[in-house]
């Protein structure tokens, strides 16, 4: 799912020491992790099955090592190119080479390289062509000289220097370029821009009506370091769309003072000329260049924060509690077009579909109730999944009026993204003979059974759990979200005999091609009876087996360990434990008293250390345990159905549907989520809404304000009563 460090290209540079220092871990941990990554190991595999080599590093640390190594190696490649280029120009002095070799960041390297880069024809270039560089050097030295007399010697009508002032102006152009290319000046100014810039925006003249959604930014200014990601992205989007003029600058006088301190040496006429050149250099060269850098820097910081929020939300969504393998009646509600019903078996296979019309305009309530009763009986339905879109609350009311003979769970399911899935190529491939309404209902039902298995089929951007997801760096977003999906899938494990190819593709070491081959082999030869059978799948070699086997489950197979997260490479250890106790592996897994007698220190050998042995014992206790929370039921208040039913002061139960940097959106059952601003989440100061809430958490909120025309609902958690015990639901 993510690009691994390549082992094909030999790397002379080893970043292990620098990374270890920055992360506060040992060089051995870093070098071993890079060795595994270079060998093609995945992050989930390394974190789960190579703890002895990495010193028990988790996935976050392993990814940080990988990312830092990529950055440091890119810096080294750039450093080598810069050194070679300047050397070829014959301008590489020992002092410059030393500075280039000591540079730690790309920006610093580029500053050092800037004077030697090929240039377009500039004002300084033209001045040099007129022979004014010696005068510029004379002035730049700021010596006490008769400046006008010296400058008069450079007046030359033939070269286009008609006067002393023209000569001085040309010299200042050259000095302005020198100042703008001075690495010390750029570094100091960059630091100032990052610390003290103001992010400001103003309306583009004549755009007021078109730009109404940006009215909060018509006259806006905020210190850049304090500007949250959502405001940065909003302002930059307004600029891109042509509605706002945006500036990112510190105070001009403070910026000029930074340059004066570095460049001006004396007070005399030559220094006055240098001062004029500095003013020009900042206004014409440095400020625009650094403002562009700051735009990119601010965008990257905002992107990173937005992507972190999106990734956190996606992880929580994917790890939502599953109802489990139940026979499901799923309903995709609607008014005019009716409610689409589908019946699914415990594995999610579509058995039957039909449409009922209980709501206006047809109001066939009795027929609809009878049909649902018939289907529940005919297909031994255990739970009903109801999409939370249009007519969702009305359909939930209908279901609760039906007198079922047995206890039937009726659950409202967040259907965000179901319509995207139903129109996708994947859905058409799964259900070529059914229309989008049937596919959407199937997705709703399967999402109740196992959110992870179903949601991996949908582009994460379509699930509705991020902010400004279309504005941020798309490759970075795809990479981050892909890693989240990969991490969640491997944390839960995948049943190889029932999983879809799309789910299998996220298993460590597989990918789309091998996933398809596994499903084709399963369809042709029947279910896998053991993990070793995977080696019979075309193109499924030892490396793929090593990386994936521990995350693939085979329940009720020949070997009980195949249903666990114990890696096949560790089966001999478990078998040795059983022999030591004169029992079988099956009995060892069943009997806690037997496991209690195991002295794991006795089994430490070679690459098998205490971390692996502790994981093995944990798996023997609960083979293939699901790390997700248990499913819990939830119901909205009967007092509200539409946004017009809401009144300030009401306290209502709700479900957290999205978490952003500025708060959390909560569904209270009126088809429009309300916002709990971060300031209304807790009685204490919090920096991150995730400190208080999780996605799909059940909360109690108080209605503060309802703006029906703009469909905006302001809610508070801290002003509501005691919050429910933290639980999440599908």
What is the DSSP secondary-structure string of 239-265?
Answer: HHTTSEEEEEE--HHHHHHHHHHHH--
At residue 462, the pLDDT reads: 77
As a whole-number percent, the residues of the chain with pLDDT over 90 amount to 73
At residue 43, the pLDDT reads: 96
At residue 5, the pLDDT reads: 46
At residue 710, the pLDDT reads: 83
Q: What would the pLDDT profile of 439-495 be if each residue is shown by its tens digit?
A: 999 999 999 999 999 988 888 877 766 666 777 888 888 889 899 999 999 999 999
Structure-token pair, residue 421: 């899935």
Contact 413, 396 (CB under 8 A): no
| More confident position, 623 or 32 | 32
When mean pLDDT is compared across 49-53, 337-341, 371-375, 639-643, the lowest value belongs to: 639-643
The confidence band for 624, taking pLDDT boundaries of 50, 70 and 90, is: confident
- Count Cβ neighbours within 10 Å for each residue of 22-39 and write b for 16 or more, e otherwise: eeebeeebbbbbbbbbbe
At residue 3, the pLDDT reads: 42
Q: What would the pLDDT profile of 689-725 be if each residue is shown by its tens digit?
A: 988 998 888 899 999 999 998 889 999 999 998 887 6
Q: What would the pLDDT profile of 15-63 be if each residue is shown by its tens digit?
A: 999 999 999 999 999 999 999 999 999 999 999 999 999 999 999 999 9
For the cut 70, the answer to whether the pLDDT of residue 216 exceeds it is yes
DSSP state of 673: P
Strands 494-495, 552-553: pairing is parallel
As a whole number of angstroms, the distance between CA 31 and CA 20 comes to 9
- Count Cβ neighbours within 10 Å for each residue of 84-101 and write b for 16 or more, e otherwise: eebeeeeebeeebeeebe
At residue 446, the pLDDT reads: 94
As a whole-number percent, the residues of the chain with pLDDT over 70 amount to 97
The helix/strand/coil state of 660 is strand
CB atoms within 10 A of CB 149: 9
> What are the residues whose beta carbons fall under 8 Å from the beta carbon of 709, sequence distance 6 or more?
none
Q: What would the pLDDT profile of 559-615 be if each residue is shown by its tens digit?
A: 999 999 999 999 999 999 999 999 999 999 999 999 999 999 999 988 889 999 999
Q: Give mean pLDDT, residues 308-337.
A: 91
The confidence band for 9, taking pLDDT boundaries of 50, 70 and 90, is: very low
For the cut 50, the answer to whether the pLDDT of residue 7 exceeds it is no
Only one residue has tokens 């014409």, namely 284
Quickly count helices (H) and strands (E) in the chain: 30, 15
Q: Which helix (H) or strand (E) holds 351?
A: strand 350-356
At residue 730, the pLDDT reads: 40
The confidence band for 728, taking pLDDT boundaries of 50, 70 and 90, is: very low
For the cut 60, the answer to whether the pLDDT of residue 2 exceeds it is no
Q: Give mean pLDDT, residues 509-518.
A: 96
At residue 407, the pLDDT reads: 86
For the cut 90, the answer to whether the pLDDT of residue 71 exceeds it is yes
Please state, rounded to an integer, the average pLDDT across all residues of the chain. 91
Phi then psi for residue 198, to 5 deg, are: -105, 130
The helix/strand/coil state of 451 is helix
The helix/strand/coil state of 356 is strand
Q: Give mean pLDDT, residues 163-171.
A: 96
At residue 466, the pLDDT reads: 66
| More confident position, 366 or 624 | 366
Query: What residue ranges define each of the domains in the chain, with the CATH number in brackets?
Result: 16-116 (1.10.10.650), 123-310 (1.10.3500.10), 328-449 (3.30.420.140), 486-621 (1.10.150.310), 643-716 (2.40.50.140)
- Tell me how far CA of residue 68 lies from CA of 101, 156, 541, in angstroms: 18, 56, 30
At residue 649, the pLDDT reads: 94
At residue 298, the pLDDT reads: 93
Q: What would the pLDDT profile of 392-443 be if each residue is shown by its tens digit?
A: 989 998 998 999 988 898 998 988 888 888 988 888 988 999 999 999 999 9
The confidence band for 120, taking pLDDT boundaries of 50, 70 and 90, is: confident
Q: Give mean pLDDT, residues 357-385.
A: 95
What is the DSSP secondary-structure string of 113-138?
Answer: HGGGS-----HHHHHHHTT-HHHHHH
Q: Which residues pair with 653 in a beta bridge?
A: 700
């Amino acid at each position: 799912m993510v690009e691994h460090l390549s082992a094909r290209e030999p790397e002379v540079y080893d970043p292990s020491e620098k990374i270890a220092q920055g992360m506060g871990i040992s060089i051995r941990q870093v070098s071993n992790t890079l060795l595994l990554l270079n060998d093609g190991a995945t992050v989930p595999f390394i974190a789960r099955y190579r703890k002895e080599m990495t010193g028990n590093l988790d996935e976050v640390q392993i990814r940080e090592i990988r990312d830092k190594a990529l950055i440091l190696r890119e810096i080294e490649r750039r450093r080598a190119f810069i050194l070679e280029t300047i050397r070829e120009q014959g301008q590489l002095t020992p002092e410059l080479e030393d500075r280039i070799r000591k540079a730690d960041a790309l920006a610093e390297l580029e500053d050092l390289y800037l004077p030697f880069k090929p240039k377009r024809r500039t004002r300084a270039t033209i001045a040099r062509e007129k022979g004014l560089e010696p005068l510029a050097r004379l002035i730049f030295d700021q010596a006490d000289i008769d400046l006008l007399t010296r400058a008069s010697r450079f007046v030359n009508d033939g070269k286009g220097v008609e006067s002393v002032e023209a000569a001085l102006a040309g010299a200042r152009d050259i000095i302005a370029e020198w100042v703008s290319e001075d690495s010390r000046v750029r570094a100091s100014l960059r630091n100032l821009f990052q610390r003290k810039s103001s992010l400001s925006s103003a309306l583009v003249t004549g755009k007021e009506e078109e730009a109404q959604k940006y009215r909060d930014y018509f006259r806006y200014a905020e210190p850049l370091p304090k500007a949250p990601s959502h405001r940065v992205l909003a302002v930059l989007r307004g600029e891109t769309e042509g509605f706002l003029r945006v500036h990112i600058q510190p105070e001009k006088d403070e910026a000029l003072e930074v340059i004066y301190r570095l460049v001006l040496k004396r007070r005399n006429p030559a220094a006055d000329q240098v001062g004029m050149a500095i003013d020009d250099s900042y206004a014409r060269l440095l400020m625009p260049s650094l403002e562009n850098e700051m735009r990119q820097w601010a965008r990257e910081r905002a992107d990173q924060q937005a992507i972190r929020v999106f990734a956190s939300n996606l992880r929580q969504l994917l790890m939502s509690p599953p109802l489990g393998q139940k026979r499901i009646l799923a309903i995709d509600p609607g008014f005019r077009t009716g409610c689409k019903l589908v019946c699914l078996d415990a594995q999610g296979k579509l058995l039957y579909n039909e449409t009922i019309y209980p709501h206006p305009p047809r109001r066939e309530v009795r027929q609809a109730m009878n049909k649902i009763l018939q289907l529940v009986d005919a297909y031994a339905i255990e739970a009903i999944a109801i999409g939370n879109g249009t007519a969702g609350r009305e359909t939930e009311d209908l279901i609760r009026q039906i007198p079922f003979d047995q206890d039937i769970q009726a659950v409202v399911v967040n259907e965000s993204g179901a319509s995207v899935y139903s129109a996708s190529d994947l859905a058409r491939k799964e259900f070529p003979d059914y229309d989008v309404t049937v596919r959407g209902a199937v997705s709703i039902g399967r999402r109740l059974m196992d959110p992870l298995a179903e949601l991996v089929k949908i582009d994460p951007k379509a699930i509705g759990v991020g902010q400004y997801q279309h504005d941020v760096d798309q490759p970075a977003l795809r990479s981050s979200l892909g890693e989240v999906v990969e991490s969640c899938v491997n944390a839960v494990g995948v049943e190889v005999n029932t999983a879809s190819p799309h789910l299998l593709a996220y298993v460590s070491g597989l990918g789309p091609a091998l996933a398809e081959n596994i499903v084709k082999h399963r369809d042709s030869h029947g279910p896998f009876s053991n993990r070793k059978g995977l080696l019979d799948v075309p193109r499924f070699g030892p490396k793929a087996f090593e990386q994936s086997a521990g995350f693939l489950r085979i329940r009720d197979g020949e070997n009980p360990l195949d249903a666990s997260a114990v890696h096949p490479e560790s089966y001999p250890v478990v078998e040795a434990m059983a022999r030591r106790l004169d029992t079988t592996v099956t009995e060892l897994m069943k009997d806690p008293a037997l496991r209690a007698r195991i002295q794991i220190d006795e089994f430490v050998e070679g690459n098998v250390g205490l971390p692996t042995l502790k994981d093995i014992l944990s798996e023997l206790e609960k083979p293939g345990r699901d790390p997700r929370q248990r499913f819990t039921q939830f119901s909205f208040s009967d007092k509200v159905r539409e946004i017009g039913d809401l009144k300030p002061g009401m306290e209502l139960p709700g479900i957290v549907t999205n978490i952003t940097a500025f708060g959390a959106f909560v569904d209270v059952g009126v088809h429009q989520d309300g916002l709990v601003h971060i300031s209304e989440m807790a009685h204490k100061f919090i920096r991150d809404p995730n400190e208080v809430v999780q996605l799909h958490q059940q909360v109690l909120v108080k209605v503060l304000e309802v703006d029906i025309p703009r469909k905006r609902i302001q809610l508070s958690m801290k002003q509501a009563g005691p919050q429910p015990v933290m639980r999440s639901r599908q």
